[in-house]
Structure 1
Amino acid sequence: ANIHRTAHPDALEMESDLSLIAVVGRGMKSTRGTAGRIFSALAHANVNVKMIDQGSSELNIIIGVQDKDFETAIKAIYDIFVTIRL
C-alpha cells in the first residue's frame, strides 16, 4: 500500500512466483564481463531470467528468477565465481 501512495503508478503488478538473487561484487579486482558470465551461466542452466536490476557502478546486480529455478540459478552463479576460477 505504501508503494502505491508514494509512486502513484498506473498499475501495480506483483509476481508471486519470483525469487530474487543479489550478486554483490564488492572486493572484486575486475568486474568487466561479470554480468555476461552470470547470464551465460544461467542460460546454460536453462534458467529463465524474469527481471534484472543493475545498481551502482560497483557491481551490484539483482536478478529475478522463477521460484522453481532458484536453487539451479544459485548453483550456476556460485559455480562461475567460486568453483571455476576465471
Structure 2
Amino acid sequence: MPLFTIARNAFLESIRQPVQAVLICAALLALVLNLNVAGYTLEDDNKLLIDLGLSTLFLSGILMAAFTATSVLSREIENKTLLTVVSKPV
C-alpha cells in the first residue's frame, strides 16, 4: 500500500502550509458574508444561501488543491524525492 503512504505524506505536508489557514479563514469569512447577501432577496433566500455556500466551498477547495499541489510538487523536485517515486511502479 505505498499509495496510501504517499497520500498520507502529501496530506501532512499540506496541513503544515500557512496558506491553508489563510484560505480556511477566507472561506469562513465568505460563508458568514453570504448570510448578509441572502437577506437582500425577496423570495428564494434559502436557495441563494445554499448556492452561495456550495460555490464558496467549491472555490476554496479548488484554491486549496492548487496551492497544495504546487507546494508539494516543488518541494519534491527540490528534495529529489520525486525521482525515487517516479522510477518505481506505484
TM-score by length of 1: 0.32
TM-score by length of 2: 0.31
- Could you say which structure has the larger radius of gyration? 2
User: Which structure has greater strand proportion?
Assistant: 1
